[in-house]
Structure 1
């Protein structure tokens, strides 16, 4: 049998199963756009568009087995164009300097920072001595210090405060999480903090009605349910996480229960399922009506309306929008008499999300939710098709919960470990004893609370809800307290997750023997991950922290300060130590690298030798030094730095600038002459 004939038979075997690849190739195009080291010009985008048109035009002229290849090329081109269009559509001014002064704006979001400080997002911003053209559309401020004299922030309230603002920072290490890109797509042009009192400028005006309802509902929940129970209940009903403590958040993360806090597919699916079942039962109780109307379609329509209401009440963030789209696809399928849960439905939902928000592909939320959903649909579809018994009737719900938790855990564990560098050792156990309670008690009680709220009896539903929430928090704290409840893994190379996804999707979507090639790709991804080499030296983008890899782990130059960079470096190393422990490893007499922290250290500096790297946390302009010097001014042009030990000593491995490129969302000052030994050699020669 010839190659062409074998290929034709292989492609014919995929009939009816190729639609699942539509979001995959669309995602390839989106991923290519975000991995570029430069912003494509109109000429580049025009060429991509022409390539897509070429694929579309010649698809019909190709033999039938080859047509999917042309469609795949078209989808990749569409992915690039969609991502570029989205990036340009959200463009807004980004603060290009450090600002200190009056900040005025309207409160459009209230949450908490990683340090547990209250945080406000403002729009309609006014900055002192900054023109409207250069003023960011939105800024985010963490309120530090004593806030007893503050006015309570309310939705829509126009406030003023004296604060420190700066452009969104780049990644803490080359190739790390790109906060500049994240801020660009959520409309943040500046971030900062304030220690002065918050003052009201004008009462809340019109608009932001849904936000006001959300915050009022959250306040009522916290009034009825105190402490973290109320904070958890408010978070899963209104999306307001500002009332839950950092201790509870850490426990939920360490026990792999943090996903219960985010309004995602689980919550949206459970809520829709409760409403759907309630409407079906209500219609069935009226036989004359049940016999004359399509009860299932009406119940599905009612559940869709309820899901839309939940989307609005929860704040409509990206994760909730994604969950709503997935649920909406399933409910619409029910309304038109199709199978509600199928791989085709998952593919439709993924395609819609990628078209509306291509940037979602780069986040862990999209990757984990669709990995879990795809795996669950595939596994339960296989159980159904193969007629595998799940036990007697009374045991089937328990079996379903166990299988669901295990499959979702296995599918999402590598992605979670890649993004968060941690594995909850008892996460499966915690989910087995917590997730069922969400479906049996917490979400139904929340629906009851919403239904009874108009007559003032929401306390009944909230009271029932509190028992389930208390149990979940208790499980989180118990599991976190177990010995070695959390282990850490090294951050993978950039190729690991795409290769893992390719293997996972090939195993599920492809028909025929080639599908087992997915196992090879999965094994290869883990092999590459196991061989990941971390940089020998890391330098923060402000020069305030240096980390050197030792036999005991990374040694940090400071025990305090630059905590965000320190925590991320250690986590990416797979090191669970805190900054103080890492600082104890630091050798201040190292001949390879020297860290000058503060003006006194610079004043006491006595010189360096060729091959040595000197990092200063303050502006430092040395004269005729043979070593490489990095200070805040030079680091503004490069971002964080990574070095490796080579044959000739320390060698530059990568900069954050080369890793992220010059994109719409990056800000780099004009490049100056680098401070290298060659520069000084030339200057001395002249």
Structure 2
């Protein structure tokens, strides 16, 4: 049907009415009428801007926490984008967007909310990118070019005792032999490599190896390792922001050129405290008590750490919000009660202010004593804001407080936003504040006339609900970083959190206090019993069937949807907050449908994992090498989502192995794939190798292969892996995912010929 003509009709305010396709103007949608009147795209933009303005004006949400989110988004965008021109372009676009908003709506009072939101968010986003870029340029340390063995003399910057691994770890300042520039390295020193006096704990009076000592040793140094596989931990990135140019281990013995000066300062107090607590509490409970008291986790056994992780209790081992809050709350309440006993003080001093000052002193001291790690500083900063709010009579539990603490941490350590520690800490705190600030939670916890038993049950139920909400909030982050998560953490935390907060930590404090007069033994006995109970809960929970959920690598889009949806649910208000469920549901579907890689190839070509169906229908992992490295084995298992130990490829029925190569054929995507995998670096005759390559779809080797080796699909030899890093192969979709895809031109990445 031909288009209806546009016919002027008397009576319209503009001199005529408009009919389009026979539809009177009054029945047309506003956007359609404006478009046909000549407004075009600008008119549609006008409608959208008006809707956004009304939404912002009527939402009643607090915009301050969103500024922290936008600031963090700018930092994350710097990590996600590839190189300087993209960073510059993104910052320029953000600035341009702010200018456009100012130009378009500067004289429009009806666009006030929208104008301010666009301008402020654009500028904060650009500032976030600028802060992390500047931080990278200031603290980043280029890695050494290649593995090397050299004799060094260095100044000890930090000593970390790791009795569970029978070694110590030294961070040294050394001078480069070629450039004469100082650099920072970290080396592991076995206890047998140390002189007798240096092998003693750094707290011993005769110890000569601690901060300030000068040592000489022969070391094997390596550049900080890039991720073994796509999705693995990126130590090279962490080392870059720590200023480390190399890591390694000692060859032979350590010579102490200058002994360390007399132990003093916080490091000495921290070590003394850790050693004292371990001497009072035996076994694994003592190592955890030392972690609570001083932040020293070096003596905790790997089996205990694994059990705590799989039970969802790892957060109790890292000094963060729970511990700092407990210490500060104890200091605040104790000061408040003690000062109230003296009428002369109570009548002349505002007790909340004095108690807040006491809590602040205790909290800052505990933070410094336990090493002042980023999560601890973040928790301390948040607690300081709570104390300020209490002193001023304001609401202490608010999202604004969390946002202020986040901005404080991200200004000092912007790189921490990409790590699991800060992400999990803030996710947990936001979940707690959002839950307890909601209407149903306030109504449930409102004071009422009831028996103490009902009040206790009500508190216990709310603690369980809080644990469930925290577990849901943390699950995507845990799966993204660690590819495994404990499913029963909420149940374990219902007992573990009160146990640690109200029993173990106060008992440790009382034990230290009464040790001053020689009466601490009963308290240490109770500490032993409480922490043995904690470990029992962890091992019992982790040992239950289905206690751990394994997942392959989550995509960046999926974790972004989870994060965006969660933040919307937590930070928005009213019924509009339910819109956050949509991205969370989409991300859940994406996560559940994420394919498990068929073949995993480590960055050096030595470690290869292949997923195959097991005899009982479960999935099994074939490993090219029966490696003694738990790091390599765990990476392969986690990214393949396999809980059982890998099966050596040479022992698999369908594999054919010679001393030099293994050949395996698997069926994926309605076709068969033949893999040719090098077992060692022994050279074989080139013609034979070329013939074998022609019959293979995929060839993997940890050395350079000749150009005559031409497999049908992929040749992952040292030449390729130096550019790409580790690989994950999805054979059904014929897709190759590499470590290099997420690295770009950041200073810590050494691939692509850099």
Q: For residues 58-97 of structure 1, what are the structure 2 equivalents within 5 Å?
A: 63-66=111-114, 67-97=116-146
| 2:702 is equivalent to residue 635 of structure 1 | no
Match of 1:614 among 680, 683, 699: 699
What is the Cα deviation at residue 620 of structure 1? 3.5
Match of 1:429 among 477, 491, 511: 491
Q: Determine the C-alpha separation between the residues in 2 that align with 1:316 and 1:203.
A: 26
SS at match of 1:483: coil
Q: Determine the C-alpha separation between the residues in 2 that align with 1:168 and 1:91.
A: 12
Closer, same or farther in 2 for the Cα pair 1:544/1:5, shift >3 Å? closer
When the two chains are superposed, the root-mean-square deviation of aligned CA atoms in Å is 3.0
Q: Determine the C-alpha separation between the residues in 1 that align with 2:157 and 2:586.
A: 48
Q: Determine the C-alpha separation between the residues in 1 that align with 2:107 and 2:403.
A: 27
- Per mean C-alpha deviation after superposition, the further-off stretch among 404-413 and 291-300 is 404-413
Q: Determine the C-alpha separation between the residues in 1 that align with 2:621 and 2:716.
A: 20
Closer, same or farther in 2 for the Cα pair 1:318/1:484, shift >3 Å? same
Q: For residues 318-357 of structure 1, what are the structure 2 equivalents within 5 Å?
A: 318-357=374-413
Deviation track 1:276-332 (CA, whole Å, cap 9, x = no partner) reads 111111112223322321111111111111110001100111121111112112112
Uncovered stretches (5+) of structure 1, i.e. residues with no partner? 672-686
Aligned to 1:362: 418
Q: Determine the C-alpha separation between the residues in 1 that align with 2:261 and 2:84.
A: 39
Deviation track 1:82-116 (CA, whole Å, cap 9, x = no partner) reads 11111112122422211213243305031549x93
Closer, same or farther in 2 for the Cα pair 1:384/1:563, shift >3 Å? closer
Aligned to 2:676: 594
Aligned to 2:252: 196
- Per mean C-alpha deviation after superposition, the further-off stretch among 191-200 and 219-228 is 191-200
Match of 1:132 among 180, 183, 187: 180
Q: Determine the C-alpha separation between the residues in 1 that align with 2:604 and 2:355.
A: 57
SS at match of 1:289: helix
SS at match of 1:13: helix
SS at match of 1:230: helix
Q: For residues 533-548 of structure 1, what are the structure 2 equivalents within 5 Å?
A: 533-548=595-610
CA contact (8 A) 1:275 1:302 kept: yes
CA contact (8 A) 2:227 2:234 kept: yes
Q: Determine the C-alpha separation between the residues in 2 that align with 1:408 and 1:297.
A: 32
Q: TM-score, normalised by structure 1?
A: 0.89
Aligned to 2:37: none
CA contact (8 A) 2:61 2:572 kept: no
Match of 1:483 among 524, 528, 545: 545
Q: Determine the C-alpha separation between the residues in 2 that align with 1:356 and 1:52.
A: 27
Q: TM-score, normalised by structure 2?
A: 0.81
Closer, same or farther in 2 for the Cα pair 1:597/1:549, shift >3 Å? same
CA contact (8 A) 2:693 2:699 kept: no
What is the Cα deviation at residue 439 of structure 1? 1.8
SS at match of 1:333: helix
Q: Determine the C-alpha separation between the residues in 2 that align with 1:472 and 1:123.
A: 37
CA contact (8 A) 1:144 1:195 kept: no
What is the Cα deviation at residue 179 of structure 1? 1.7
Structure 1 or 2, whichever has the larger Rg, is: 2
Q: For residues 384-403 of structure 1, what are the structure 2 equivalents within 5 Å?
A: 386-389=442-445, 392-393=451-452, 394-395=455-456, 396-403=458-465
Aligned to 2:77: 32
What is the Cα deviation at residue 473 of structure 1? 1.5
Deviation track 1:589-628 (CA, whole Å, cap 9, x = no partner) reads 32632111223375696433446332222x3342533335
Closer, same or farther in 2 for the Cα pair 1:57/1:582, shift >3 Å? farther
Q: Determine the C-alpha separation between the residues in 1 that align with 2:604 and 2:191.
A: 22
CA contact (8 A) 2:621 2:645 kept: no
Deviation track 1:32-87 (CA, whole Å, cap 9, x = no partner) reads 00011224589658736854873796686562121212211111111111111111
- Per mean C-alpha deviation after superposition, the further-off stretch among 504-513 and 451-460 is 451-460
Aligned to 1:624: 708
What is the Cα deviation at residue 392 of structure 1? 4.5
| 2:371 is equivalent to residue 315 of structure 1 | yes
Closer, same or farther in 2 for the Cα pair 1:269/1:43, shift >3 Å? closer
Aligned to 2:671: none
What is the Cα deviation at residue 471 of structure 1? 1.6
Match of 1:645 among 731, 741, 748: 731
Q: Determine the C-alpha separation between the residues in 2 that align with 1:60 and 1:318.
A: 41
What is the Cα deviation at residue 162 of structure 1? 2.4
SS at match of 1:575: coil
Match of 1:506 among 568, 586, 589: 568
CA contact (8 A) 2:609 2:623 kept: yes
What is the Cα deviation at residue 20 of structure 1? 1.7
Deviation track 1:520-566 (CA, whole Å, cap 9, x = no partner) reads 11101101111212333222111112223333344321222554233
CA contact (8 A) 1:491 1:574 kept: no
What is the Cα deviation at residue 669 of structure 1? 7.0
Aligned to 1:269: 325
Match of 1:656 among 713, 727, 739: 739
Match of 1:287 among 335, 340, 343: 343
What is the Cα deviation at residue 569 of structure 1? 2.5
How many aligned positions are there?
Answer: 664
- Per mean C-alpha deviation after superposition, the further-off stretch among 516-525 and 70-79 is 70-79
Q: Determine the C-alpha separation between the residues in 1 that align with 2:409 and 2:334.
A: 29
| 2:565 is equivalent to residue 496 of structure 1 | no
Match of 1:141 among 165, 177, 188: 188
Match of 1:570 among 637, 641, 644: 637
Aligned to 1:676: none
Deviation track 1:607-662 (CA, whole Å, cap 9, x = no partner) reads 33446332222x33425333354433542233212334369xxx562332232122
Q: Determine the C-alpha separation between the residues in 1 that align with 2:442 and 2:251.
A: 63
- Per mean C-alpha deviation after superposition, the further-off stretch among 621-630 and 288-297 is 621-630
SS at match of 1:538: strand
SS at match of 1:137: strand
Uncovered stretches (5+) of structure 2, i.e. residues with no partner? 1-29, 31-46, 203-209, 614-618, 656-661, 666-673
| 2:156 is equivalent to residue 100 of structure 1 | no
